[in-house]
C-alpha cells in the first residue's frame, strides 16, 4: 500500500483494509501455524502502534516531538 499510494495514504488504506479483513490472532495462526502466526500477529500489532520514533520519522524531530506531546495530552483527558 505504501509503495502504491505513498507513506501517509498507504498507511491509512492499510489500517482500513486490516479492519475490514478482521485480522485476528486466530486467523493468523490458522493460516501460518502457531509459531509463525503469533510472530506475524505481533508484528502486525507493532506496526499499528503509535510511537515517538514514528512521529519523529514522519514529521521531523522538532515537529514530531511536538505532535507526540499534543497527542499524549489529548489522551490523558480520556
Q: Residue 60's pLDDT is what?
A: 93
And the C-alpha cell for 50? 503509535
pTM exceeds cut of 0.75: no
28 neighbors 40 (Cβ within 8 angstroms):
yes
Domain that holds residue 41: 2-76
Q: Residue 20's pLDDT is what?
A: 64
Q: Residue 38's pLDDT is what?
A: 93
Find the angle CA(20)-CA(45)-CA(58) to the nearest 5 degrees. 95
Per the structure, the count of domains in the chain is 1
Q: Residue 77's pLDDT is what?
A: 61
Within 10 Å of residue 45's Cβ, how many Cβ atoms? 11
Question: pLDDT per position in the chain (78 positions), as tens?
Answer: 778 888 888 888 888 877 766 778 888 899 999 999 999 988 888 877 788 888 898 899 999 999 989 988 877 765
And the C-alpha cell for 69? 506531546
Amino acid at each position: 500500500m505504501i509503495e502504491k499510494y505513498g507513506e501517509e495514504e498507504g498507511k491509512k488504506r492499510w489500517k482500513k483494509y486490516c479492519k475490514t479483513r478482521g485480522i485476528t490472532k486466530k486467523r493468523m495462526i490458522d493460516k501460518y501455524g502457531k509459531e509463525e502466526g503469533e510472530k506475524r500477529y505481533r508484528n502486525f500489532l507493532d506496526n499499528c502502534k503509535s510511537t515517538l520514533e514514528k512521529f519523529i520519522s514522519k514529521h521531523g524531530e522538532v515537529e514530531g516531538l511536538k505532535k507526540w506531546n499534543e497527542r499524549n495530552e489529548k489522551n490523558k483527558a480520556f
